[in-house]
Amino acid sequence: MGLKAYFFDTYAFFEIINANPNYSAHLETVGTTTKLNLMELHYGLLREYGKKFADEKYDNLVKNTLEVDDKTIKEANEFRLKHAKKKLSYIDCVGYVSAKRHNLIFLTGDKEFKNMENVEFVK
């Protein structure tokens, strides 16, 4: 059985950084993400931990990012419209679509994604 490949939603990064034991199985996982997710993470870390910590995390994770192309943006908008009642953010939609397009499991604890296809939901 091969290793699972993951796309880390911003939620997952925060939980790992904050030592949520439910994410311990993913501590050694190299997760892929987008620069948009890193932007969201960086902002939250700036607010909570300061510039030095936020910059270090961003710089360590940026090498594992996927480019967001035009097709992904359009698919993400279609996905967001389809799930408009859930009020998903643009960044979450881009991440979810990116994960599916690259055969990665979308790792998150965001309740709006619970029970969705291609999601590993960890709270």
* In-domain check, residue 1: no
> What pLDDT score does 51 carry?
98
**Containing domain of residue 113, as a range?**
6-121
* In-domain check, residue 107: yes
> What pLDDT score does 30 carry?
83
* In-domain check, residue 30: yes
* In-domain check, residue 13: yes
**pLDDT tens, residue by residue, 70-91:** 999 999 999 999 999 999 999 9
Number of structural domains, the chain?
1
* In-domain check, residue 116: yes
> What pLDDT score does 1 carry?
45
* In-domain check, residue 90: yes
Task: Return all residues near 64 (Cβ < 8 A) that are at least 6 apart.
Answer: 30, 31, 32, 33
Task: Return all residues near 119 (Cβ < 8 A) that are at least 6 apart.
Answer: 96, 105, 106, 107, 108, 113
Taking 50 as the pLDDT cut, the residues of the chain under it are: 1
Distances (CA, A) of 109 to 14, 52, 78: 10, 26, 22
* In-domain check, residue 24: yes
Which CATH number does the domain housing residue 68 bear?
3.40.50.1010
